[in-house]
């Protein structure tokens, strides 16, 4: 059995405990969270930066309509593409939702894999400097002139830990990371290490799902095939035509995520469909690796073996919920 803090451990009377289930993509977070929520009568806080958008269904691995009717999910289908919603917004609003859930006498379960969402909720954010328009404009010009890979390599030299949590495609975070370094003269990870944990009225018990890397990659590849069979190409094509202008301007990060950006390249005639599917699998595996790096380096969580059968899921859900 994995070491795991008991979910019903004593805590101060002023605190309310919340189970947080995190892990890399395709590790089984949603299924476990749903099973736990059913056992303890909880509502689920989705810590997934794509599920909040109404237009992203298949590619975001959003819960089915039946599941959403059965269990209340927060931050699912609440925004439309183009509406801003940051990790800071999530951290603030998630605490408010959790407190409201507790006032109504119910429990809350947080589940997801969006790294900054989880960090903001569990650890709070450092007091980072405001954007500097001059520095940002120069960095954007350098990116246009030298390419994203050159700036990513610069970040890798200056702040390897931060670079390990993203790649050159995450241009907004890349620019922001370099901007902070120029303003403060310090790496982002050093500043984040000084942050103070917030929300003292909420106590989090966080578990991260782990499995052998090759098994995780098998699950990622299989889920990609299942998404394609479920109609991901049609969903992406609809988004491509509806939000073509936003895509051209690069103004929406939601559409630059794995599973969509590769199919957009196919619609643009840059690659064939089989190549796009192969890239989705590859980029998903790369994303999972970055998630694992982030969770291990930036969050204090309990690592447990991910369930791979219904029986194992039931046993783990019972352990988390304090039932037998």
Distance of alpha carbon 151 from alpha carbon 175, whole angstroms: 8
Distance of alpha carbon 308 from alpha carbon 23, whole angstroms: 14
**Among candidates 269, 267, 271, which has minimal Cα distance to 279?**
271
pLDDT band per the 50, 70, 90 thresholds, residue 202: confident
For residue 43, pLDDT over 70 is answered with yes
Q: Please state, in angstroms and as integers, the Cα–Cα distance from residue 145 to each residue in 236, 258, 299, following that order.
A: 30, 25, 36
Distance of alpha carbon 173 from alpha carbon 186, whole angstroms: 16
Q: Please state, in angstroms and as integers, the Cα–Cα distance from residue 167 to each residue in 147, 153, 176, 238, 294, following that order.
A: 13, 10, 13, 27, 13
For residues 249 and 210, the model is more confident at 210
**Is 10 labelled a binding residue?**
no
Helix pair 213-230, 232-242: axis angle to 10 deg: 70
Average pLDDT over residues 100-124: 94
Q: Which residues pair with 209 in a beta bridge?
A: 304
Mean confidence (pLDDT) of the chain: 89
**Is 86 labelled a binding residue?**
no
Residue percentage of the chain with pLDDT more than 90: 65
**Is 114 labelled a binding residue?**
no
**Is 309 labelled a binding residue?**
no
**Is 25 labelled a binding residue?**
yes
The pLDDT of residue 251:
65
The pLDDT of residue 2:
56
For residue 14, pLDDT over 60 is answered with no
Per mean pLDDT, which of 71-80, 146-155, 172-181, 253-262 is the most reliable?
A: 71-80
Q: Which two tokens stand for residue 138?
A: 């120069």
Domains in the chain (CATH in brackets) are 16-125+195-321 (3.40.50.300), 133-192 (1.10.20.140)
Residue percentage of the chain with pLDDT more than 70: 91
Any idea which of 7-11, 78-82, 233-237, 275-279 has the lowest mean pLDDT? 7-11
pLDDT band per the 50, 70, 90 thresholds, residue 193: confident
**Is 276 labelled a binding residue?**
no
The pLDDT of residue 11:
41
The pLDDT of residue 13:
39
pLDDT band per the 50, 70, 90 thresholds, residue 15: low
The pLDDT of residue 250:
67
**Is 28 labelled a binding residue?**
yes
The span from the first CA to the last CA of the chain, in angstroms, equals: 15
Any idea which of 24-33, 53-62, 242-251 has the lowest mean pLDDT? 242-251
What is the DSSP secondary structure assignment for residue 254, as one 8-state letter? G
**Among candidates 130, 136, 120, 133, which has minimal Cα distance to 192?**
120
Q: Do residues 44 and 73 touch, judged by C-beta distance below 8 A?
A: yes
The pLDDT of residue 196:
52
**Is 31 labelled a binding residue?**
no
Q: Do residues 19 and 209 touch, judged by C-beta distance below 8 A?
A: no
């Amino acid at each position: 059995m994995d070491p795991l803090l008991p979910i019903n451990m004593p805590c101060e009377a002023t605190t309310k405990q919340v189970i947080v289930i995190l892990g890399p993509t395709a590790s089984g977070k949603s299924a476990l969270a749903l099973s736990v929520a059913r056992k303890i009568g909880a509502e689920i806080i989705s810590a997934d930066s794509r599920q909040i958008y109404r237009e992203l269904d298949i590619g975001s691995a959003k819960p089915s309509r039946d599941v959403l009717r059965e269990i209340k999910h927060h931050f699912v289908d609440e925004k439309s593409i183009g509406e801003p919603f940051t990790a800071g917004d999530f951290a603030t609003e998630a605490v408010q939702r959790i407190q409201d859930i507790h006032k109504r006498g119910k429990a809350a379960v947080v589940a997801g894999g969006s790294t900054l969402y989880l960090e903001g909720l569990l650890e709070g954010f450092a007091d980072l400097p405001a954007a500097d328009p001059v520095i940002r404009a120069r960095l954007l010009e350098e990116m246009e002139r030298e390419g994203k890979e050159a700036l990513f390599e610069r970040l890798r030299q200056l702040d390897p830990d931060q670079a390990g949590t993203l790649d050159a495609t995450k241009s907004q975070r890349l620019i922001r990371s370099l901007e902070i370094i120029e303003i403060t003269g310090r790496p982002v990870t050093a500043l984040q290490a000084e942050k103070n944990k917030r929300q003292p009225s909420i106590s989090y018990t966080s578990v991260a799902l782990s499995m052998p890397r090759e098994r995780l990659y098998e699950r990622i590849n299989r889920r990609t095939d299942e998404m394609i069979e479920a109609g991901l190409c049609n969903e992406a094509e609809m988004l491509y035509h509806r939000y073509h202008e936003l895509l051209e301007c690069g103004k929406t990060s939601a559409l630059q995520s794995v599973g969509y950006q590769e199919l957009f390249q196919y619609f643009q005639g840059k690659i064939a469909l089989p190549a796009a599917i192969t890239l989705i699998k590859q980029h998903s595996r790369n994303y999972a690796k970055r998630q694992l790096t982030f969770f291990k380096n930036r969050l204090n969580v309990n690592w447990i073996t991910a369930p791979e059968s219904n029986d194992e899921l039931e046993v783990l859900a019972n352990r988390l919920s304090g039932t037998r």
